[in-house]
Structure 1
Amino acid sequence: MNKFEIKYLLETTMSAVDRLTDTNGKITLHNENLWNEIKEKDVKIGNLFSKLKDQNEEIYKLKNIIKSQQEKNLAEYHFPEMVDN
């Protein structure tokens, strides 16, 4: 191999390394963006779970109110003299 062939091989290898470095940088940036998106979605999921828990507590309270009102209505229907209004 003469010096021109060696120089050509060196330049093509350097060009390939540069392209791979650029690709690696793009992939790294894309991965960072994906991790940021995952973190944002985790926060959103946590907020939604909290909201769901609050709504389940409210449903439980409302079910208890409905149940006690039904019991009162039944007692009032069957034993009107025993129920205070």
Structure 2
Amino acid sequence: MFVFLGRRADSVKEKLLSENRALKAQWKCLRCHRNDVCIAFLPCGHLVSCEACSTDPSARKCFSCDAAVKARIKAFIA
């Protein structure tokens, strides 16, 4: 077990909180930024959309790379 004292503890805590926020943001839909991603676009394979945004008729291109979407696949992340 590690024990940090004073300013160093605050610095480490802030760094960890910042990293945690960044990791959580990576799992949010690139279009709405509210829902977690669960749809992968094919053929590019980018997992960047929530189910609601992926079914929007205007979602004909990948939100990440602009490749034409030929199919969508639901991803289950455990």
Normalising to structure 1: TM-score of the pair?
A: 0.37
Give 1 or 2: higher helix fraction: 1
Greater C-alpha Rg: 1
Give 1 or 2: higher strand fraction: 2
Larger relative contact order, structure 1 or 2 (CA cutoff 8 Å, min sep 6) = 2
